[in-house]
Copies of this chain bind each other. A is one copy, B any other.
Amino acid sequence: MSGDAQISRLKPGRRTDIRRENERAILEAAEKVFAEAGFGGATMQLIADMAGLPKANLHYYFATKEDLYRRVVQQIFEIWLDAASSFDNAPGPVEGIGAYIDAKMDISRTHPHGSKVWASEVMHGAPVIQDYLETTLRDWTNGRIAVIQRWIDEGKMQPVNPRHLLYMLWATTQHYADFGHQIQTLNGGAALTEKQWKEAKASVKDMVLRGIGAI
């Protein structure tokens, strides 16, 4: 566990704001702790400390550790679903997949903790979000596969397997969040600079779009 400072908290203000602000601070702290320690390694005490609240106060807002964890996982999933909109209404793979890569790379940079929590959850057999995988994710996947297949039929890209293309997109973009520590170590210990992130995005887009024969 890194010794990062605690999550910033705004002044309480009105009654409604107290709840919203505390839940936000707790979720932000929880996302970080769950990402860095895993579900089993995370402790409510650690999350409380990082959120700047007594542990008992966490249980006032979130009944159990599982409840809190579930909320964190749902959060990143919804962010990813939003990013997927860049996929639709695109005339072809260069725009659609290009925008999707951009969006997912941006999320890997801005929400690395959430990505790790999701990865950890799936690696452990998705005990709390299995239903999401079987419903929302499956439907979303089938929808995008249809879009990709249409692009293939229209001759806008090579006839690659759409499903494995999606896996490659997920794997490659999320790798920059999930394995960010490894990437940073191989970068001499320094986090990627703005310029390096641009280079990463450009490299991924270039290789993927050429790989599917879209450029």
Q: How far is the CA of A98 from the CA of B4 in the complex (A)?
A: 42
For the residues of A in contact with B, the DSSP-based class is helix
Q: How far is the CA of A149 from the CA of B116 in the complex (A)?
A: 32
Enumerate chain B residues within 8 angstroms of A170, measured Cβ to Cβ.
175, 179
Q: How far is the CA of A174 from the CA of B209 in the complex (A)?
A: 21
Q: Does A36 lie at the interface of the complex (its beta carbon under 8 Å from any beta carbon of B)?
A: yes
How many residues in A have their beta carbons less than 8 Å from beta carbons of B?
A: 56
Q: Does A208 lie at the interface of the complex (its beta carbon under 8 Å from any beta carbon of B)?
A: yes
Q: How far is the CA of A142 from the CA of B37 in the complex (A)?
A: 30
Q: With A133-B185, A164-B204, A210-B213 given, is the CB distance from A35 to B179 under 8 Å?
A: no
Partner among B40, B126, B208, B212 whose Cβ is within 8 Å of the Cβ of A41: B40
Q: Which 4 A-B pairs have the closest CB atoms?
A: A40-B41, A211-B211, A40-B40, A171-B175
Q: Does A78 lie at the interface of the complex (its beta carbon under 8 Å from any beta carbon of B)?
A: no
Taking Cβ atoms with an 8 Å cutoff, the residues of A that contact B are 2, 35-42, 116, 119-120, 122-126, 130, 133-134, 137-138, 141, 158, 160-161, 163-165, 167-168, 170-172, 174-176, 178-179, 181-183, 185-186, 199-200, 203-204, 206-213
Enumerate chain B residues within 8 angstroms of A124, measured Cβ to Cβ.
36-38, 41
Query: What is the minimal beta-carbon distance from A10 to any residue of chain B, in angstroms?
Result: 29
Query: What is the minimal beta-carbon distance from A20 to any residue of chain B, in angstroms?
Result: 30
Question: Most chain-B Cβ atoms within 10 A of its Cβ — which of A36, A130, A204?
Answer: A204
Q: Which B residue's beta carbon lies closest to that of A211?
A: B211
Contact A207 B160 (CB under 8 A): yes
Enumerate chain B residues within 8 angstroms of A35, measured Cβ to Cβ.
123
